[in-house]
Chains A and B, each alone.
Chain A
Amino acid sequence: MIEDRRRAAGSFRDPSGFVFSIEGQVHRQVNQIYRDEYDQLIQSGLYDELAGDEQLIAHTEVDPERAVTEDVYRVIKPALIPFISYPYEWCFSQLKQAALLTLEIQFKALEFGMSLKDCSAYNLQYKNGKPIFIDTLSFERYREGQPWVAYRQFCQHFLAPLTLMSYKDVRLQQLLRVYIDGIPLDLASMLLPRRSWVNFGILSHIHLHAKSQKRFADKPVPLDRQTVGRTAFLGLIDNLRSAVEKLSWQAGNTEWHNYYAISNYSPAALAQKKQLVAEMLDKVTPAPQLVWDLGANTGLFSRIAAERGLRTISFDTDPAAVEQNYLASVANADTNILPLLLDLTNPSAGLGWENQERMSILERGPADVVLALALIHHLVISNNLPLEKVAGFFHRICNHSLVIEFVPKRDSQVQKLLLSRVDIFDDYNQTTFEREFSKFFVIQSKHSIADSDRTLYLMVKRDG
């Protein structure tokens, strides 16, 4: 039988090799051109050091006969990343941790006579609650005297977005969606406030760096000049590390992050809702592998799924909620939760060359179970989405079961949404909700939530 082997759409820039799949399983071809570097990575002990600390993805070598092209040196099969996420979906601390890991890897690489030849934020993924470096072919032998070829990329992919988030506005991270090779430094420099000029690291790596880029644009540079000694090289990386370490962002008083404190649930109602969600998750058969909690806020209900050993992606549109969720997950050593930033009304699209380098959120689904708690009114009332469209979308992203809460118009949270607008939502009622969702799902059970007008449903997806 001929194996189904496909090259990954986003893996074409580096001639050292590429990612491909064999029968749907991720592999990486190491090309002959990368042979000496790969041997050094393995034989120097750097691979063992990094993989042992779960900083670099572990891999096994498989039969090179399974390669896609003939200039193969090795074929490796990296350990599975359960869910692919991207830097524009991470909260501030997730991006910061990824940046610090990158620099730590660079320090370790130098100890083993190697250096990172690229510094893309897309070289990292989140696995078991921690960032991990996934591009095994990013290492090259360090040649003393050579400047760091990935310096510009580190500044654009990590330092610029983190600085903008910290100094100006956390939402500027979304520029990463537009600029696939990181935020241009002249743009970052222009957007940053004046007080950033008195921070030596930011002054150096962003403002002066941007000016230098402008000054020397299109001027040739002799790449092989021996100009940066080892101490200077280490000094540069050390300074980048301290610049990143100093950056902070306090999740301020944004829209949602104190939602539970101000919501209209009584303690009894909240406890009952938690209990109901737990029971519904336990009822799902076959046992689910992947849960998507949409509008998860700080992850209160995601934790119920995670406690059951279910891998849970905890999406929210509020950067502060995602930040709190992530910090809580780290504090609780919650390895099953991955908090991510996602605006459901404009979810991550396919980006990059041919719109295929970075996957849309739909390509990364479906989830076995979708949780949509206290969400429906935001989609229908705040975003004018007809119930049928919402039901259809949930059907698309859901493999099996949907746990959904209906929040009626008389609920104080809905009334708040209607305060400043004309109520054009005649169809927004429980009868229409059940009718429209029944087209795509079978309602398995429904329960009223005490001290509220809300109802919790467990639904199972209809085929087709």
Chain B
Amino acid sequence: MVPKHLFAICLFVTSLLFVLPTDAHAYLDPGSGSFIIQIILAGIMGVMLMAKIYWKKIRAIFGQTSSQDTGDDD
């Protein structure tokens, strides 16, 4: 490869890094509809995840208490 081309490629790649700082690697088309539904679903599912985590914590507290009460070491 001649140096002239190499320089051109380097310039192009470097310029890409500046022009597209966040999406340089987002080569996939995420799809408009997929993006929008994801935003809605993620909101709901994030709440569900938090509920799940807290529910587990609550169950762990009561589970521990009940196993201590009954002497069950399962």
Q: Verify that A and B bind, or say they do not.
A: yes
**Contact for B50 among A212, A213, A227, A231, CB less than 8 A:** A231
Q: With A148-B38, A204-B41 in contact, do A234 and B46 touch (Cβ < 8 Å)?
A: yes
Contact A70 B32 (CB under 8 A): no
Contact of B45 among A16, A155, A232 (CB under 8 A): A232
- Give chain A interface residues in 289-345, CB to chain B under 8 Å: none
Nearest CB of chain B from residue A122's CB, rounded to whole Å: 13
Known: A209-B34, A216-B36. A236 touches B28 (CB 8 A): no
From A126-134, A217-225, A401-409, A449-457, give the one contacting chain B.
A217-225
Q: Which residues of chain B are near A148, meaning CB under 8 Å?
A: 38, 42
Residue B25 contacts which of A34, A212, A224 (CB distance < 8 angstroms)? A34
From the candidates A13, A71, A209, A223, name the one contacting B23 in the complex (CB within 8 A): A223
Q: Among the listed A13, A208, A219, which residue makes an inter-chain contact with B37, where contact means beta carbons less than 8 Å apart?
A: A208
Residues of A within 8 A of B1 (CB): 70
Pairs A–B under 8 Å by Cβ, sample size 28: A15-B24, A16-B27, A71-B13, A146-B22, A147-B30, A147-B35, A149-B30, A151-B30, A151-B38, A152-B28, A152-B34, A217-B33, A219-B32, A220-B32, A223-B30, A224-B22, A228-B42, A228-B43, A229-B46, A231-B49, A232-B45, A233-B42, A235-B47, A235-B48, A236-B41, A236-B46, A239-B45, A239-B48
Docked-complex contact A13 and B27, CB < 8 angstroms: yes
Q: Is the CB of A14 within 8 A of B27?
A: yes
Q: How many residues of A contact B (CB 8 A)?
A: 51
Q: Considering only CB atoms and an 8 Å cut-off, how many residues of chain B contact the other chain?
A: 35
B58 within 8 A of A: no
Interface contact B28-A149, CB-CB below 8 Å: yes
**Distance between Cα atoms of A234 and B31 in the complex (Å):** 20
The residue of chain A having its C-beta at the shortest distance from the C-beta of B52 within the complex is A238
For the complex, what is the distance from the CA of A232 to the CA of B46, rounded to whole Å? 4
From B31, B47, B52, give the contact of A213 (CB < 8 A). Answer: B31
Query: Chain B contacts of A33 at CB under 8 A?
Result: 13, 16-17, 24-25
User: Are B33 and A212 in touch, CB under 8 angstroms?
Assistant: yes
- List residues of chain A with CB within 8 A of the CB of B45: 204, 232, 235-236, 238-239
B-facing residues in A224-277 (Cβ within 8 Å)? 224, 227-229, 231-236, 238-239
Residues A221 and B38 in contact, CB atoms below 8 Å apart: no
Please measure, in the bound complex, the distance between the C-alpha atom of A231 and the C-alpha atom of B32, giving whole angstroms: 22
Residue of B nearest to A218 (CB): B32
A232 with B43, Cβ < 8 A, contacts A70-B6, A209-B37, A221-B36 known: yes
Is the C-beta of A215 less than 8 angstroms from some C-beta in chain B? Answer: yes
Q: Is the CB of A117 within 8 A of B28?
A: yes
Q: Are A228 and B30 in contact, with the CB atoms below 8 A? A: no
Bound-complex Cα distance A204 to B42 (A): 10
Chain A neighbourhood of B50, CB < 8 A? 231, 235
Whether B39 sits at the interface, judged by CB under 8 Å, is yes
Contact between B31 and A152 (Cβ–Cβ < 8 Å)?
Answer: yes
In angstroms, how far is the closest chain B Cβ from the Cβ of A318? 35
Known contacts A13-B27, A33-B17, A117-B25; is-contact A235 B46 (Cβ 8 Å): yes
Does B19 lie at the interface of the complex (its beta carbon under 8 Å from any beta carbon of A)?
Answer: no
The reply on A21 being an interface residue by CB < 8 A is no
Chain A residues near B39 (CB, 8 Å)? 147, 227-228
B50 shortest CB reach to chain A, Å: 6
Are the CB atoms of A215 and B28 closer together than 8 Å? Answer: no
Q: Does B9 contact A (CB under 8 A)?
A: yes
Complex: A234 Cα to B36 Cα, angstroms? 17
Chain A positions 134 through 158: 1 when the CB is less than 8 Å from some CB of chain B, otherwise 0? 0000001001001111111101000
Closest 9 CB pairs of A and B: A232-B46, A213-B33, A235-B45, A235-B46, A212-B37, A152-B34, A235-B49, A232-B42, A212-B33
How far does the Cβ of B71 sit from chain A's closest Cβ, in whole Å?
34
Q: CB distance A70 to B9 under 8 Å?
A: yes
